[in-house]
A = this chain, B = another copy of it.
Amino acid sequence: MEISLKNELIANLAWYTTIVVLKMMLMSTLTSVYRLRTSAFANEEDARTFGSTTKGKPFVYTNAAVERVRRCHLNDIENIIPFVIIGFLYVLTEPAIDTAIFHFQLFAGCRIAHMFCYLISIPQPSRFVFYAAGYFATLSMAFRILTALY
């Protein structure tokens, strides 16, 4: 099997991987935006340069909205990176293209929905359902790798 973007499996993996990694990187920018908006910084030197000038405010403190974005970011790291690694090995097992695309689309869709659920605080179990569906997409690909190798 050739590792090339001309290979349909690799091209699809590359597309959805780039989408979910960009989505994960978006959380960094969102964290910065929320930190600036609320003047809630993690380092004193950040607060000195970027903070609002209100007197008597502690330099470093946490803000609930910032922490929520950060939890969403960490959840992405915990789920998207395993997907990328397992996804690459899964493609090496040469699955049917439709099955592969189904896994990639399910995962990418769930992670985007998960982000909205997290940031808008939509009542559970919606966020849990999207988290679990993405998790099982990765598990399903891992299962195929192990059975292909065993």
**With A25-B82, A49-B123 as contacts: A142 and B3 at CB distance below 8 Å:** no
Residue of chain B at shortest CB distance from A28: B78
Task: List which A9-25 residues lie within 8 A (CB) of chain B.
Answer: 10-11, 14-15, 17-18, 21-22, 24-25
A-B contact pairs, 13 of them (CB 8 A): A1-B3, A14-B92, A18-B146, A22-B142, A25-B135, A25-B138, A25-B139, A45-B127, A48-B124, A49-B125, A50-B124, A50-B125, A81-B81
- Interface of A with B (CB < 8 Å)? 1, 3-5, 10-11, 14-15, 17-18, 21-22, 24-25, 27-28, 42-46, 48-50, 68, 71, 73, 77-79, 81-82, 84-86, 89, 92-93, 118, 121-125, 127-128, 135, 138-139, 142, 145-146, 148-149
